């Protein structure tokens, strides 16, 4: 969910498996591919609803300290991240949305 201020809230994550057009994909495998990009400090991948495919992955990335990108640079980074996922995970991953965020807020796990 995206709130009125533009913050993304992940409301739940029962497991790390995304169902993309009948293919079960681990969000961890996508995150591992994205984290290998030299400008990415950390990332998270979540499934978002898609009428055609059921779910499609969406990536949130935090840039490493000292990396500053204008709009064109963010578009280039997104294209590089999408290509990295295609190369490492496969075309079926269907990653198309990559959002650069300032931070990923982590909450303690309750088990």
Q: What is the pLDDT of residue 9?
A: 56
Parallel, antiparallel, or unpaired: how do β-strands 23-26 and 40-50 relate?
Answer: unpaired
Domains in the chain, start-ordered, CATH in brackets? Answer: 17-101 (3.30.300.30)
pTM over cut 0.75: yes
Residue 50: how many CB atoms within 10 A of its CB?
15
Q: What is the DSSP letter of 64?
A: P
Distance from C-alpha of 57 to C-alpha of 47, rounded to nearest angstrom: 5
Q: What is the pLDDT of residue 51?
A: 86
Q: Are 96 and 83 in contact (CB under 8 A)?
A: no
Q: What is the pLDDT of residue 31?
A: 93
List the one residue out of 46, 52, 44 whose CA is nearest residue 22: 52
Q: What angle do CA 68, 84, 97 make, to 5 degrees?
A: 65
Q: What is the pLDDT of residue 84?
A: 95
Q: What is the pLDDT of residue 49?
A: 81
Residues 6+ positions from 28 with CB-CB distance below 8 Å = 16
Phi and psi dihedrals of 25, rounded to 5?
A: -120, 140
Q: What is the pLDDT of residue 6?
A: 62
As averages over each run of 10 residues, the pLDDT of the chain (111 residues) reads: 61 63 79 96 88 85 96 96 92 86 74 55
Q: Are 43 and 62 in contact (CB under 8 A)?
A: yes
């Amino acid at each position: 969910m995206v709130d009125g201020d533009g913050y993304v809230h992940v409301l739940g994550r029962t497991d790390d498996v995304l169902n993309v057009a009948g293919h079960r994909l681990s969000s961890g495998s996508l995150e591992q591919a994205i984290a290998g990009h030299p400008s990415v400090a950390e990332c998270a991948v979540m499934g978002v609803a898609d009428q055609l495919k059921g779910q499609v992955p969406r990536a949130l990335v935090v840039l490493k300290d000292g990396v500053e990108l204008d709009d064109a640079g963010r578009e280039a980074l997104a294209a590089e991240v999408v290509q990295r996922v295609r190369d490492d995970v496969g075309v079926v991953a269907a990653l198309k949305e990559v959002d650069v965020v300032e931070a990923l807020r982590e909450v303690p796990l309750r088990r």
